[in-house]
């Protein structure tokens, strides 16, 4: 589902880019310059492409940097360069050469599960919500560790993953301590110690875990 949404978006941007190129027109007679495209649709398309490339590839990526540097003005040549860069980005996505896409897919899946946890909370099922958020957190920590080339054993839990990531200085000891708080809530839920936490603490955990994964994943 997420991949299809991504491809729909880039295909739409490419289609808009083709429409931008179709607005090609010569400059005023007094200007010694090449052809131009229509300003309003160019800059709307330009902003959309920059936003897309930054979200998918990152602002340090070749695609984002090249587009930002080579497609700056509403000249026909700039628009043509920009369209070529966008098509190259599409080829990389289709060819599976996009590492960040894996992170985006993971983030999308995590969002779905966290929304499910929020629904459980609304229905009064704080214990099931706590267990679900804990599972999301554990999977997220595993992905953060792998993303940073941290060696893992076959069996790891939240506490061991948290320790290895903190030791690698991916985040500081304050964050490490907060993860342990979330781990305690999850353990209490899994071991039927339901009186050790309340719905508000689970609600806060859900919000904080969402922010945490967004920052480190």
Which pLDDT tens digit goes with each residue over 144-158? 998 899 999 888 999
Mean pLDDT, range 180-207, rounded to an integer: 94
Q: Which of 66, 94, 122 is the last residue of a domain?
A: 94
Please, where are the H alpha helices in 126-172? 126-147, 158-167
Q: In CATH, what number is assigned to the domain containing residue 130?
A: 1.20.120
User: What integer is the mean pLDDT of 91-100?
Assistant: 73
What is the total count of domains within the chain?
2
| Range of weakest confidence among 5-9, 10-14, 193-197 | 5-9
* Average pLDDT over all residues of the chain: 88
Please indicate, yes or no, whether residues 127 and 180 belong to a single structural domain of this protein.
yes
* End residue of a domain, out of 40, 61, 94: 94
Q: Does residue 43 sit in the same domain as residue 58?
A: yes
Give the pLDDT score at 119.
Answer: 86
User: Between residues 5 and 174, which one has the greater pLDDT?
Assistant: 174
pTM of the model: 0.55
Hey, how many other C-beta atoms are within 10 angstroms of the C-beta on 184? 17
User: CB pairs under 8 A, 24+ apart, for 46-49?
Assistant: 46/71, 46/82, 48/13, 48/16, 49/13, 49/17, 49/82, 49/86
Q: How many Å apart are CA 185 and CA 196, to the nearest integer?
A: 8
Distances in Å between the alpha carbon of 94 and those of 6, 54, 89, 98, 117? 10, 18, 9, 9, 33
Judged against a pLDDT cut of 60, whether residue 1 lies above it is answered with no
Count of residues for the chain? Answer: 217
Q: Check whether residue 88 and residue 131 sit in a common domain.
A: no
Share of the chain above pLDDT 70, in %: 91
197 and 139 in a common domain:
yes
Same-domain check for residues 32 and 124: no
**Residue 55: exposure state from Cβ atoms within 10 A (0-12, 13-18, ≥19):** middle
Do 197 and 171 share a structural domain? Answer: yes
| 99 pLDDT above the threshold of 60 | no
pLDDT in tens, 17-38: 999 999 999 988 777 778 999 9
Confidence label for 217 from pLDDT (cuts 50, 70 and 90): confident
Range from 4-8, 38-42, 72-76, 114-118 carrying the lowest mean pLDDT = 4-8
Kindly state whether residues 105 and 155 are assigned to the same domain.
yes
117 and 205 belong to one structural domain:
yes
Residues 77, 146, single domain; the answer is: no
Mark which of 64, 94, 124 sits at the end of a domain: 94
Whether residues 73 and 119 fall in one domain? no
Based on the domain organization, do 88 and 126 belong to the same domain? no
Domain that holds residue 43: 2-94
pLDDT at 72: 94
Query: Are residues 143 and 36 both part of a single domain?
Result: no
């Amino acid at each position: 589902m997420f991949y299809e949404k991504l491809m729909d978006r880039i295909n739409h941007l490419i289609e808009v880019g083709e429409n931008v190129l179709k607005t090609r027109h010569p400059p005023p007679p007094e200007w010694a310059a090449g052809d131009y495209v229509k300003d309003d649709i160019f800059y709307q398309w330009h902003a959309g492409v920059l936003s897309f490339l930054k979200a998918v590839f990152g602002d340090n990526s070749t695609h984002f940097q090249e587009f930002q540097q080579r497609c700056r003005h509403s000249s026909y040549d700039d628009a043509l360069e920009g369209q070529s860069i966008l098509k190259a980005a599409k080829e990389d996505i289709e060819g599976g050469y996009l590492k960040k896409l894996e992170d985006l897919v993971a983030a999308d899946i995590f969002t779905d599960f966290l929304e499910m946890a929020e629904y459980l909370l609304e229905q009064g099922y704080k214990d099931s919500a706590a267990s679900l958020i804990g599972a999301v957190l554990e999977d997220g920590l595993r992905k953060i560790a792998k993303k940073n080339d941290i060696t893992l054993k076959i069996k790891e839990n939240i506490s061991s993953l948290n320790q290895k990531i903190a030791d690698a200085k991916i985040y500081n000891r304050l964050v490490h301590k907060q993860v342990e708080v979330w781990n305690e809530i999850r353990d209490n839920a899994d071991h039927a110690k339901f009186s050790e936490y309340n719905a508000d603490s689970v609600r806060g955990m859900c919000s904080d875990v969402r922010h945490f994964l967004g920052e480190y994943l």
